[in-house]
Every structure is written in structure tokens, then in C-alpha cells.
């Protein structure tokens, strides 16, 4: 259990009244997001509900009964956490920011290419560009929503093109069966037609950065006998 000095407040306001508890930040957020955790492992100050944690003022039992419909502290505490606001520690914000940073790097790596050689940028190079451009990651904003602005900042450092490709792929009959799962794994399969000769004609929509990896896999499976043609490119030139 976290030390009381490191605990944070979870707070729920109802009809102008505040109900507060001291909790372990990460465990409270896990409970809030649906994980089955015993309330006793989440709270730091026992099953005590406060109207003001800092002043040590406990909530009125009659108000708890009236507004929560119960005086069962386990149920009350769960509702405060699930419906209220959990204060975040600096450490937790830093953790969220680092996770979001990794997600953004992965998105740029998957969806973008270097237009000079049509190859994806390695994640390490993207990360270095983020640092050089002094990009700030918003830990609360969706990674997809931040990518456009971030690409605008790093494209002065890295030549970059952000795109999704529609690719037509033909696989010979003797390799079609074992190649089919790979097509589904790497992209959005828009079309799959089995030809009279047993070959597979497919159209797959795939992030540009992943297309190289897909063809490495397919060439390995078919011993280089795969045929492909780019039909369309979307989201080009952010």
C-alpha cells in the first residue's frame, strides 16, 4: 500500500456537497476503469469518507444515506472513485506521457515513410527528431490527434510522408492458403478473390510504414513469387 504522504484525493460532488477519500492513485484508476480490486487495497485512510480530507472533516452519515442510498462504505467509496475525479500524481502523469510518446512514435513509424527512399523511419530516428524539435506530448490528448501537429514540427528535421496505401496483391495457388492470414494480420483486407487457378487476388489497405514488413513476410512465404501494385494512396503529405 502507498504511504499516506503519497496518497491522492478522489472526490465526488453531489448536490453541492463534496465526498472525498484518500486513495492510491494507480489502484484507484484501475478500479475506475473496471478492474476488480478490493476497495481495502485502494483506500489509504481506511473506509472513511470525508467532506474535506485536508481538514480531516468526515462526511455526514445522513447525507451519505440520502445521496448514495446506502451507508455501506465499500459501495460508497466505489461510487466516489467510479463517478468522481481521481487526482493524479506527477509520477502517474509522467508515466502516461511516456506511454503516449511511445504510441506516437509507433504511429509515425507505422504510417509514414521517408520519401527519399520510400522506407519507414526507424523508431529511434523518430524519437531523436522529437527530442531535437523539443516536441511536448500531451498525456491527456489522444495520440492520433497529436500526430499531425508533431509531424509538422519534425518534418523540418526528417523527410517524411504520412500515408495509407491500397495495394493489389496476387499470390500463386501453392502459397495462397498460408499467405492469407498474413494479409489479414498486416492490413485491412478490402477484397479477396480466389481465382480459377487457385491463386489469390487481394486488395489490402495498409499503413505505408508497414508495407515493407508485409512484403518481406510475403516474399519469404512465396519465395519471391508475390505480385503487387499500388492502386491508391491516402493521407499523403501532412
The per-residue pLDDT for range 28-83, each reduced to its tens digit, is 999 999 999 999 999 998 899 999 999 999 999 999 999 999 999 999 999 999 99
Query: What average pLDDT does this structure show over 224-238?
Result: 81
For residue 203, pLDDT over 80 is answered with yes
| pLDDT tens digits, one per residue of 145-174 | 898 899 999 999 999 988 889 999 999 999
Q: Which three cell numbers stand for residue 226?
A: 508475390
Q: State yes or no: pLDDT of 196 exceeds 50.
A: yes
What does residue 20 show for φ and ψ, rounded to 5 degrees? -130, 150
Q: Grid cell 500524481 — which residue?
A: 89
Do 61 and 71 meet the contact criterion of CB atoms below 8 Å apart?
yes
The pTM of the whole model exceeds 0.75: no
Percentages (nearest 5) of helix, strand, coil residues in the chain: 45, 25, 30
DSSP class of 193? E
CATH of domain 4-86: 3.30.1250.10
Q: How high is the pLDDT of residue 186?
A: 87
β-pair partners for 169: 202, 228
Instruction: Answer whether residue 237 shows pLDDT above 50.
Output: no
Mean pLDDT of the chain: 92
CB 31 within 8 A of CB 74: no
Fold classified for 90-161: Arc Repressor Mutant, subunit A (1.10.10)
Residue 209 grid coordinates: 510504414
Q: Which regions of the chain carry the CATH code 1.10.10.900?
A: 90-161
Residue intervals of the chain classified under CATH 3.30.1250.10 are 4-86
CATH 3.30.70.240 location in the chain: 163-234
* pLDDT value of position 125: 95
- Third-level CATH fold of 163-234: Alpha-Beta Plaits (3.30.70)
Give the pLDDT mean for 220-232.
94
Largest CA distance in the chain: 80
Amino acid at each position: 500500500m502507498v504511504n499516506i504522504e503519497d496518497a491522492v484525493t478522489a472526490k465526488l460532488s453531489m448536490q453541492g456537497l463534496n465526498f472525498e477519500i484518500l486513495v492510491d492513485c494507480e489502484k484507484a484508476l484501475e478500479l475506475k476503469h473496471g478492474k476488480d480490486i478490493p476497495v481495502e487495497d485502494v483506500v489509504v485512510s481506511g473506509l472513511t469518507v470525508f467532506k474535506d480530507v485536508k481538514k480531516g472533516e468526515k462526511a455526514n452519515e445522513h447525507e451519505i444515506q440520502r445521496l448514495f442510498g446506502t451507508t455501506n462504505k465499500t459501495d460508497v467509496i466505489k461510487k466516489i472513485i467510479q463517478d468522481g475525479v481521481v487526482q493524479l500524481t506527477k509520477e502517474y502523469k509522467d508515466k502516461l506521457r511516456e506511454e503516449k510518446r511511445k504510441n506516437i512514435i509507433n504511429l509515425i513509424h507505422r504510417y509514414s515513410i521517408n520519401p527519399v527512399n520510400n522506407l519507414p523511419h526507424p523508431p529511434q530516428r523518430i524519437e531523436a527528431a522529437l527530442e531535437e524539435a523539443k516536441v511536448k506530448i500531451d498525456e491527456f490528448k489522444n495520440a492520433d490527434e497529436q500526430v499531425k501537429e508533431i509531424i509538422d514540427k519534425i518534418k523540418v528535421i526528417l523527410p517524411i510522408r504520412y500515408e495509407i496505401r491500397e495495394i493489389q496483391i496476387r499470390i500463386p495457388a501453392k502459397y495462397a492458403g498460408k499467405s492469407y492470414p498474413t494479409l489479414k494480420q498486416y492490413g485491412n483486407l478490402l477484397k479477396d478473390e480466389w481465382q480459377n487457378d487457385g491463386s489469390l487476388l487481394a486488395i489490402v489497405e495498409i499503413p505505408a510504414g508497414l508495407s515493407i514488413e508485409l512484403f518481406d513476410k510475403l516474399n519469404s512465404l512465396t519465395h519471391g513469387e508475390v505480385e503487387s501494385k499500388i492502386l491508391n494512396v491516402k493521407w499523403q503529405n501532412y
